[in-house]
Amino acid sequence: MSDLQPVVVSYLKVSQYVFSLPPIIAHIVSAKLPPDEEPFFRSKEILELFKEKLEQLTFALAATQGPNNSDPLPSEIVDLLKPLRRSTAEQCENVGVNMRFLQMFAEDSLQLVNASSTASAGQGVAALVQEVTKSAQLSAGNWRDAEKGMEQLSEEIVTTVEKITAVINKDRAATASIVFDERNSQAINDFIHATQDGSALFRNNAQFLQETADHFQDIDLQVQLPTEQEIAIMRERWSGFLEHLEPLKSRTFAAIATQIRSGPDLREAKARADFWKRHRMESSYERQQRVPKAFSNTGAQDTKTSGARRSTRKCPTMDWTTSIQYVNDLSASLLYLVLIFETAYLQDDA
């Protein structure tokens, strides 16, 4: 007769501590220990990085518009950016929904822990195990969908940048090598790498939840009550997990999604670029004319320059009228920056 398969004695012991027991006997301590909270906060950081890199790309595109052009961006560029913004915002919203289902799973697990300490826990635990299983399965499926969404977003970023590059290269006043200089190319690379990091995180989330669901499905369970010490440890861990997830509410991710959809103030971006051009100060796009590292094969070519140009331009001589205008413009810009920082501070404080 073959040896009996080992069965988990206590699901509290995630170090794979097992004994050989009859398969119909399993000592359950109500649920698996909660996962580490850090990956979930990392998910929020990734989505905030999406917003930052999209804004950087938008500002770079707006800076190529001439001072006599009233439109912050060409309509073709706007039409290309909208779908990318929409897809990115949808990923934020999906993660927010997934966090809510994760919290529901954690609440069910904590309820299961508390039920294990009652005198009539046998029947109660069996019913709650089903709830935890269903909750884990649903949440695992959501995170798998989010993983696929990140993979699709990564492909959409590449496609969008290729299309934008083609549009820019039609305009002799601005080539893709100027827009996608080293700094902005790195921003796009960071954007893509962030989607890959997010995909890996979501895959791990789904794996944890699926393993929890499979544990209760794959074996027949005859519940034996855990010790009070085990219950206390589990209760502390799940309560702490729920508390730590408190800042990761759905509305937090919905707010990021709203900001991504609306995008930055394009007229502000263009005004900044026009200010420096008006006073004959080269922008980073004029100083660095490099073929973009991230998308050197997208048709963006600059045959006139192969490296960074060192400016030999001397500081221009200005009359009193120009000097006063310069000071006024600078003062207005500084005041505008103060208003931006004050607005950001009030939003953070709220």
The SS3 of residue 304 is coil
pLDDT digits (tens, 9 = 90+) for 298-336: 443 443 433 344 344 444 444 444 454 555 556 556 655
Is residue 252 domain-shared with residue 328, that is, in the same domain?
Answer: no
Residue pair 11/28 in contact by the 8 Å Cβ criterion? yes
How many domains in the chain? Answer: 2
Is residue 222 domain-shared with residue 345, that is, in the same domain?
Answer: no
270 Cβ partners below 8 Å, 6+ apart? 62, 63, 65, 72
Question: Please, what is the angle between helix 266-278 and helix 320-349, to 10°?
Answer: 150
**Is 60 exceeded by the pLDDT of residue 24?**
no
**Is 70 exceeded by the pLDDT of residue 81?**
yes
pLDDT digits (tens, 9 = 90+) for 95-143: 999 999 999 999 999 988 888 776 555 566 778 888 889 999 999 999 9
**Is 70 exceeded by the pLDDT of residue 167?**
yes
pLDDT digits (tens, 9 = 90+) for 148-165: 999 999 999 999 999 998
Using the 3D structure, point to which of 234, 262, 290 is the last residue of a domain: 262
Cβ-defined contacts of 320-328 (< 8 Å, 24+): 326/279
Q: Is residue 288 part of a domain?
A: no
Is residue 62 domain-shared with residue 191, that is, in the same domain?
Answer: yes
Is residue 330 domain-shared with residue 253, that is, in the same domain?
Answer: no
Q: Is residue 277 part of a domain?
A: no
Is residue 51 domain-shared with residue 123, that is, in the same domain?
Answer: yes
- Counting every residue written for the chain, the total comes to 350
Is residue 61 domain-shared with residue 153, that is, in the same domain?
Answer: yes
Range of the domain at 197: 36-262
User: Both tokens of residue 163?
Assistant: 């299309």
Using the 3D structure, point to which of 241, 262, 283 is the last residue of a domain: 262
Q: Which residue has the higher pLDDT, 152 or 61?
A: 152
Q: Is residue 146 part of a domain?
A: yes
Using the 3D structure, point to which of 244, 262, 280 is the last residue of a domain: 262
User: Both tokens of residue 29?
Assistant: 């301590």
Q: Is residue 285 part of a domain?
A: no
CA distances from 251 to 93, 95, 244, 256 (A): 9, 11, 16, 9
Q: Which residue has the higher pLDDT, 242 or 272?
A: 242
Q: What's the chain's average pLDDT?
A: 73
Phi and psi for 8 in degrees, rounded to 5?
Answer: -60, 125
Is residue 255 domain-shared with residue 326, that is, in the same domain?
Answer: no
pLDDT band at residue 274, thresholds of 50, 70 and 90? Answer: low
Average pLDDT rounded to a whole number, residues 272-288: 47
Phi and psi for 7 in degrees, rounded to 5?
Answer: -125, 145
User: Both tokens of residue 105?
Assistant: 């799973």
Q: Is residue 309 part of a domain?
A: no
pLDDT digits (tens, 9 = 90+) for 231-270: 889 899 999 999 999 999 999 999 999 999 998 877 666 6
Closest by CA to 97, choosing from 38, 145, 142, 135, is: 142
Residue pair 277/117 in contact by the 8 Å Cβ criterion? no
Q: Is residue 272 part of a domain?
A: no
pLDDT digits (tens, 9 = 90+) for 179-219: 788 888 999 999 999 999 999 999 999 999 999 888 777 54
Nearest 5 degrees, angle CA 257-CA 261-CA 267? 135
pLDDT of residue 203: 97
Average pLDDT rounded to a whole number, residues 85-99: 97
Q: How many CB atoms lie within 10 A of CB 26?
A: 20
